[in-house]
Chain A
Amino acid sequence: MKVEKIEKIVDTYSNMIMRLAYQNCFNKSDSEDIVQEVFIKLIKNIDKLGDNSEYIKAWIIRVTINTCKDCNKSSWYRKVKKLEENELDFCFETEERGVLNKLSELKPIYRNIIYLYYYEGYKINEIAKILKMNENTVSSNLTRARKQFKEFLEGGEDDE
């Protein structure tokens, strides 16, 4: 594997993986471990993934979420999962820390749907395929997630 190729894929996808990982485990060092783990999986499978960048991106999202799930399942992780304020101090303003804290109170599936929908701009049918969920369920979950998140952030106000 050529360094240039690795550099290119790290440049293209590392922030996306980090964001997904972060909002699943809310811990910088775990997120970095997940980023590395996902890239190792990607490098091992790069030959089979072809050249379609959209496909590779969707594959990475799926693998990242699975890796986060594995991480969350381990018993030691459960014990230390509580979001540490200090952990967030390193790069976030007070308001942003509030957003992340509130985000951490949402179910992981809601966080991922919100991320894929609002940040990555995926459509609901695409999210359904990536997350292997029924479209109706994605749609309902998105509604619920949005509602809950709004309530968390706005104290129940609807900003529409």
Chain B
Amino acid sequence: MSNKYYETISKIEVSQEFKKKLIANLEKESEVKYKKEGMLMKVKRTIIIIISTLAVLLGSGVAYAALGGTINGVPVLEWMGIKFSDDYVDYVEPIENQILENDEAKVTLESTVCDEGFTILQFRVNISEKVIEKHKEDDSDFIVNLNCLSFNDPVYYTDGHQETRLNGSNYNLIIDGEEMWVRGSTAQSMERLSDTEYLVYQMYFLTEQHIGDKKEFEITLNDVALGIGEDWIEIDGSFNVKLSKERASNDTKIITPETNTTLKYKKMEKSIEKIYITPLQNIVKLKTVYKDVDLDDLTYSLDDDYVGTIDYLAFNQNENNISAYSTETERKITYEDGTVEESEPGEFEFERDEFEHATYEIIEYIAIEQNEEINQIDIKAYERSDTDESIKNIMEYKIDLNTNKIEAENKDVLIYDPKNSIITDEYKIYYKVFYGVEYDEAEYYHNKEDENHETEIDEELEISKDGKETEVSEETEKNLLEEKVTNNSMVAYAVNSRNESHAIIKATKNGKTISKEVEMNGLVDKAETIEIPTIGKVLLVSDTAGESYVVNIYQLINNEIVNIGNIDCGIDMVTDATYTVETKNDTIAIINAKLDNETVKQKFEMSAEIAYTKIIDIFDLGKVVLVAETGGEYYGIRVYRLSQEYTSGKIQGIIEAGFIQYINE
């Protein structure tokens, strides 16, 4: 199979002709398009890149050292996201005589460690030469790799092929004989020592929910299987691991809050239930309850009660950031009729399409770094907006480890708002923690661009100050104010189902909401509400397909959501162009466009009298010129913008890019 595939795929190549064209285009692109990018887009892209970077780095085949060792200089557990105290090694228990083997592989449990939260098991895996040779049968250069060490996840055979959990195991751990599904709190990493030998670390985060108040318990690991290549090797037998957190527990202090720690944000309430000061770390148990919620409150990002993604950071008494690892162990919804539904960490998925008056609960644990110098922990909860990417500190808990006192305080501090260029030092810490690199380091090249951006803004201001080339004449402005019929200025618009080709538009007026699902020609990209003189408040929804980018304009008219126009903002649109407009003889608009040092002046004759002209921003795509014309019953707005040859950057002139129709209610 692989040969046919390999040969066929090898034939797919970029032709020399295309390569030449590509190189020419890229060369121009690197000079022209690069500087057109707005700051907002750059920040956005950087985040995406960093996320990709992290994902790739994690898979870069780094070697893991044994417990207490390092990966690329970072302690192995810290690399997993856990930072234990230096006392950690004192609590590692060596294990003897826990070996499972057959003629294909041998798995040895070598050590364990556990405290009030973490249980980490270290295994050594040896794979026989026979297995390696079998996998190399077709290709001697093929690298055989251990993919995972699987437990409690029986291997099934379907038509002679092996499958695991996807066929339906409903537990992943057996504690004292009881099968249970440990949600969102297992992780495995491994170190490849050679072709045939690996060290595997299996982590579970076990709480009282799993083991109650037991100090000693037994973990059973059945159905041991090694994922090698695309096959599974099953090994008969099971590991029965007696674990004791006695020592760690004896050295653990548990703080139960004496005062009410509940903080409320919209319909969400958070409270600290317990704090465990173990010899290895500090663990804070947090309970979150959303009360009296409906589906929109939890899933519709433009709903007033919707809460964005919550992230936590921890700081010490000196306001220095300290390591914190949060994990979710429970997430459930209780419907109004008492039915309870559990879901996986991070998921907002429900079996019911609609519901109201439900209660939604999340249990989280935050494992926080501990050392002798930390005597106060400050946990800050941040809401990351799912609509505009802004980040706000909404809650703060200060835990005094000496007096056990907990202070809970609501906050409302914006630490990041790309729209208004708010980037605080606190955001830079957040950035470092969640994206893994220093903000300034990641953004270094943006600074140069920002300087250019600021200069351009200054230039625009100068034009306005001159007063010679105002966007709207005083007379027109006056007419506008009188004429400002503003269809729907009290309407609130919202769009859902982005990233699909269907947009669900909701318009709410006087408490009544009208919805409409519209199919776009491309992928729905952005949405924004703007005010257009005379026309009033409108909703812009853009869609993109390849080189095309269209901004569709919607408005609520006579209780119906109507498409009143479109603007072509395709690949030829010039982001950084600035415009001024003059009018002549009532029907002629003379548009001046400026890009860098190049200016273009073009005359356009309208079919009716010009009511006003205005320059507006379309998202962060650039500016367009609106020329409103009117005659009798007719009232329409023509939209103009500069066009640029995409590949060469050559200015092609000012084009009519769209039309907006005024429809009176």
- A: residues with CB less than 8 A from B are 1, 3, 6-7, 10-11, 14-15, 17-19, 22-23, 31-33, 35-36, 39-40, 43-45, 47-49, 54-55, 58-59, 62-63, 70-71, 73-78, 91-92, 95-96, 99-100, 103, 114-115, 117-119, 121, 123-130, 132, 135-140, 142-144, 146-147, 149-150, 153-154, 158-159
19 contacts between A and B (CB under 8 A): A17-B14, A19-B13, A23-B9, A43-B30, A45-B45, A48-B46, A54-B60, A74-B523, A74-B544, A118-B5, A123-B61, A124-B227, A125-B148, A126-B59, A137-B166, A139-B230, A144-B161, A144-B163, A153-B1
B29 touches A43 (CB 8 A): yes
> B597 an interface residue at 8 Å Cβ cutoff?
no
How many whole Å from A96's CB to the nearest CB in chain B?
A: 4
Q: How many residues of B contact A (CB 8 A)?
A: 71
A130 touches B546 (CB 8 A): no
10 more CB-based (< 8 A) A-B contacts, given A1-B27, A39-B26 = A6-B27, A18-B14, A23-B12, A40-B33, A48-B46, A59-B56, A100-B8, A126-B60, A143-B163, A158-B160
**CA separation between A142 and B161, bound complex, in Å?**
11
The 5 A-B residue pairs with the shortest CB-CB distance, nearest first, are A129-B59, A1-B30, A74-B545, A75-B501, A124-B147
How many whole Å from A143's CB to the nearest CB in chain B?
A: 5
Which of these, B1, B23, B519, B545, contacts A159 with CB under 8 Å? B1
Which of these, B31, B56, B160, contacts A62 with CB under 8 Å? B56
CB-CB under 8 A for A15 and B14, given A114-B5, A124-B147, A125-B145: yes
CB-CB under 8 A for A92 and B166, given A43-B26, A73-B500, A75-B521: no
Total A-B pairs, Cβ < 8 A: 205
Which residues of B lie under 8 Å from residue A32 when comparing CB positions? 14, 18
By secondary structure, the B interface counts as mixed
Which residues of A lie under 8 Å from residue B232 when comparing CB positions? 139
Q: Which of B47-55, B75-83, B572-580, B620-628 contacts A (4 or more CB under 8 A)?
A: B47-55
Smallest CB gap from A100: residue in B: B8
CB-CB under 8 A for A147 and B161, given A6-B26, A10-B26: yes
Smallest CB gap from B500: residue in A: A73
How many whole Å from B233's CB to the nearest CB in chain A?
A: 12
**CA separation between A71 and B522, bound complex, in Å?**
9
> B353 an interface residue at 8 Å Cβ cutoff?
no
**CA separation between A39 and B145, bound complex, in Å?**
32
B22 touches A58 (CB 8 A): no
Which of these, B23, B61, B145, B521, contacts A3 with CB under 8 Å? B23
> B213 an interface residue at 8 Å Cβ cutoff?
no
Which residues of B lie under 8 Å from residue A7 when comparing CB positions? 23
> B25 an interface residue at 8 Å Cβ cutoff?
yes
**CA separation between A96 and B148, bound complex, in Å?**
34
Smallest CB gap from B56: residue in A: A58
**CA separation between A77 and B499, bound complex, in Å?**
15
Which residues of A lie under 8 Å from residue B143 when comparing CB positions? 121, 123
By secondary structure, the A interface counts as helix
How many whole Å from A81's CB to the nearest CB in chain B?
A: 13
> B445 an interface residue at 8 Å Cβ cutoff?
yes
How many whole Å from A144's CB to the nearest CB in chain B?
A: 7
A153 touches B11 (CB 8 A): no
> B461 an interface residue at 8 Å Cβ cutoff?
no
Which residues of B lie under 8 Å from residue A75 when comparing CB positions? 501, 519-523, 545
> B19 an interface residue at 8 Å Cβ cutoff?
yes
B523 touches A139 (CB 8 A): no
**CA separation between A35 and B18, bound complex, in Å?**
10
Of A17, A43, A127, the most chain B CB neighbours within 10 A belong to A43
Which residues of A lie under 8 Å from residue B12 when comparing CB positions? 15, 18-19, 22-23, 31, 91
CB-CB under 8 A for A96 and B7, given A55-B60, A129-B55: yes
Which residues of A lie under 8 Å from residue B229 when comparing CB positions? 124
CB-CB under 8 A for A55 and B56, given A99-B4, A99-B5: yes
A43 touches B61 (CB 8 A): no
> B6 an interface residue at 8 Å Cβ cutoff?
yes
Interface string of B48-90 (1 = CB under 8 A from A): 0100110111111100000000000000000000000000000
Which of these, A33, A35, A114, A136, contacts B14 with CB under 8 Å? A35
CB-CB under 8 A for A125 and B545, given A1-B30, A96-B8, A146-B1: no
A-facing residues in B66-118 (Cβ within 8 Å): none
Which residues of B lie under 8 Å from residue A22 when comparing CB positions? 12
B162 touches A125 (CB 8 A): no
Which of these, B26, B29, B53, B148, contacts A139 with CB under 8 Å? B148
> B337 an interface residue at 8 Å Cβ cutoff?
no
Which residues of A lie under 8 Å from residue B4 when comparing CB positions? 95-96, 99, 153
How many whole Å from A116's CB to the nearest CB in chain B?
A: 11
Which residues of B lie under 8 Å from residue A17 when comparing CB positions? 14
Which residues of A lie under 8 Å from residue B1 when comparing CB positions? 146, 149-150, 153-154, 159
How many whole Å from B243's CB to the nearest CB in chain A?
A: 24
How many whole Å from A77's CB to the nearest CB in chain B?
A: 7
Interface string of B141-156 (1 = CB under 8 A from A): 0110101101001000
CB-CB under 8 A for A36 and B5, given A59-B52, A91-B11, A135-B148: no
Which residues of A lie under 8 Å from residue B31 when comparing CB positions? 1
B55 touches A62 (CB 8 A): yes
Which residues of B lie under 8 Å from residue A137 when comparing CB positions? 166
> B159 an interface residue at 8 Å Cβ cutoff?
yes
A70 touches B227 (CB 8 A): no
Which residues of B lie under 8 Å from residue A144 when comparing CB positions? 161, 163
Which residues of B lie under 8 Å from residue A15 when comparing CB positions? 12-14
Interface string of B513-531 (1 = CB under 8 A from A): 0000001111100000000
Smallest CB gap from A74: residue in B: B545
How many whole Å from A155's CB to the nearest CB in chain B?
A: 12
Smallest CB gap from B148: residue in A: A135
Which residues of A lie under 8 Å from residue B8 when comparing CB positions? 92, 96, 99-100, 103
A36 touches B25 (CB 8 A): yes
Which residues of B lie under 8 Å from residue A103 when comparing CB positions? 5, 8
**CA separation between A10 and B232, bound complex, in Å?**
39
Which of these, B19, B162, B499, contacts A14 with CB under 8 Å? B19
Which residues of B lie under 8 Å from residue A23 when comparing CB positions? 9, 12
B59 touches A44 (CB 8 A): no
A92 touches B148 (CB 8 A): no
B11 touches A96 (CB 8 A): yes
How many whole Å from B102's CB to the nearest CB in chain A?
A: 20
Smallest CB gap from A33: residue in B: B546
How many whole Å from B190's CB to the nearest CB in chain A?
A: 8
B147 touches A3 (CB 8 A): no
> B634 an interface residue at 8 Å Cβ cutoff?
no
Smallest CB gap from B34: residue in A: A44
A40 touches B26 (CB 8 A): yes
> B442 an interface residue at 8 Å Cβ cutoff?
yes
A-facing residues in B160-206 (Cβ within 8 Å): 160-166, 190
> B37 an interface residue at 8 Å Cβ cutoff?
yes
B19 touches A139 (CB 8 A): no
CB-CB under 8 A for A143 and B30, given A76-B545, A129-B58: no
Interface string of B119-154 (1 = CB under 8 A from A): 000000000000000000000001101011010010
